[in-house]
Structure 1
């Protein structure tokens, strides 16, 4: 009997498979400021899953063991995998200029598909470009920074991919194509449009046909503009100032098109495990393209490089972990795997977000503790971008 069917501490203990160190860790993460945490670990000691905190403010029920969560930038790994499948079929050229697929935007002819997936295009990030001097320039209202209330007021607005790309291209490029690295959600909106152009189908249709269906990822959704999230799920919250007063609202439902293919998908810790294990286990891509995906490109972040839709993390003991994470407003997902897919860590976290990103330090610490425990034997783990 799979341990995934057991949802209580008592059942885990009865099975003799509970991991007190992991349970204590997620409880301490909740104490640091999160409303809820769900953790799933697959390793040589079998599978362990547990949750701590509450599913809803004011309630007593814990987050559902396999609840749905907005996975943020983990979406990029799914999208990059889909692009590389099309590369394998000869429908997309990895080093082909993007302008050939999307001539309507007047893109710099030097920008290739690889640069989109690798974040080396230099294209402005519509959710906020962070410059070396600390200055942040926003393209649209976002739930962090100085535009919190404006995002709340517009949280059910629909942004179309073309609109986001046009906005981004109206701003100066961060650098010349291929000369630097900068995390930009715009890259993946462009990747979505390339997918749709060459297949003649929507991203959601292609994702279902090529990845979600074959892997049986029934808990994973490409929502496009829908504000809904399937049950069961923990709730996400947002705190902001309105007319001099602090308000806290439930923002679990919102239109995710503001981040589009940069981070709009919904999944579960079980589905994320299945996906990242299958990807690294060679089930989704030919060997040579999986190697391309995991070829590290320098990011300027210590021990943290980026491939094509994945982070390539070097641990202090010299090991390698393939990962992505994703944070959206009030919720986040973590996804880590050994290069062979045999050991994985997936997690879902919820909290009360605010414009100041007050949870940021606790978020980094939580990730570091979880990954250290499972992969690094307590050694340090660097931060990653979370949007």
Structure 2
């Protein structure tokens, strides 16, 4: 069914109605922010903050953003490169001499482009950073020669974060808070929340089974929709790193591959497109930035009851902004 819901409603009203209707049929629970040309067009908090349905979501709730949190270590690496504290050609062995010989082959650029040859984290047995270090120290061989193939996995992310800690002498959490969140004007961001932290949207499945907050490796930044918007603008306006550094972590190994910032296009000093999605447990998030034909749009979608439809939601919102017909979320 295609809907054109106008009847005098503003774009904000249409977007909120669309999301609310999706919630009624069990296809959306979460927070959304939509901005156009630097102004917030719509902000919505739809549904519940936990499986018990005791707490209604508000804009103050923070969400896990899944793989989008990898942007923080990618940007952190480029910040240190700009300061002359590392080179992208540096090998992992420069920072960690107690790793096997394969560390002599893997460059930081390989880690940023997921071309290191490292295997995935062993999620069944890894329950913290110490466990993952043990696995890396006994790893005998890589899956392929670094720089020859692409394999998206979190051991690349883990080593990026550990390199930041090694160089700065700070925990990754402290580095993110002081060197990125504060500079971006983000006051509510949190890394690796625990049960004691307030205003954390808890993820749950369609049977209302709630997930825990434990993660195999550390370093996962959680944001409100408004703070996520500030982060997206900091990237596209080069407030933390230069346009050249931004291009470095927007340029994949091959077309269609992910890189440090997910995916996108940069032309000169303009980020034409920046798209990144992430999942963790039953969280799902989407960061959609487009700068075309004199119009800049940012769509932030944060869900704590993942339905696999964030791109469909973004498409409908985009059509609403353009005054075009769009499809309702349907069972």
What interval of TM-score do these two structures reach, taking the shorter chain for normalisation? 0.7 to 0.9
Q: SS of 1:19's equivalent? A: helix
1:208-265: CA deviation from partner (whole Å, max 9, x where unpaired): 2211112221111122xx52364324332258xxxxxxx85433x4223x1423xx22
Tell me the residue number matched to 2:50.
56
Question: Structure 1 residues 59, 371: closer, same or farther in 2, change over 3 A?
Answer: same
SS in 2 for 1:250: coil
1:99 aligns with 2:93: yes
- Pick aligned residue for 1:275 from 203, 228, 231: 231
Query: Which residues in structure 2 correspond to 1:1-387 (within 5 Å)?
Result: 18-31=11-24, 33-34=26-27, 36-44=29-37, 46-47=39-40, 48-59=42-53, 62-106=56-100, 107-126=102-121, 139-141=122-124, 158-160=127-129, 162-167=130-135, 170=139, 173-223=142-192, 227-228=194-195, 230-237=197-204, 249-251=209-211, 253-256=212-215, 258-261=216-219, 264-298=220-254, 304-312=256-264, 320-338=272-290, 342-351=296-305, 362-363=307-308, 365-371=309-315, 373-374=317-318
Q: Tell me how far 1:77 sits from its aligned partner.
A: 0.4
CA distance in 2 between counterparts of 1:192 and 1:331 reads 22
Q: Distance in 1 between matches of 2:153 and 2:21?
A: 32
Normalization by structure 2: what TM-score? 0.80
CA RMSD between the two structures: 3.2
In 2, the alpha carbon distance for the partners of 1:73 and 1:27 equals 26
Unaligned runs of 5+ in 1: 1-15, 127-138, 143-156, 240-246, 352-358, 380-387
Number of positions where the alignment pairs a residue of Structure 1 with one of Structure 2: 306
Q: Give unmatched runs, 5+ long, in structure 2.
A: 1-8, 326-331
Q: CA deviation at 1:336?
A: 2.0
Contact 1:64 1:233 in 2 (8 A): no
Give how far 1:57 is off.
3.7
Kept after mapping to 1: 8 A contact 2:115/2:147: yes
Shift of 1:342: 4.1
Q: 1:325 to 1:102 in 2, by over 3 A?
A: same
Q: Which residue of 2 aligns with 1:7?
A: none
Cα distance in 1 for partners of 2:221, 2:241 equals 21
| Partners of 2:45 and 2:107 in 1: CA distance | 42
Contact kept in structure 2, 1:34 and 1:349, CA below 8 Å: no
Classify the secondary structure of the residue corresponding to 2:98.
helix
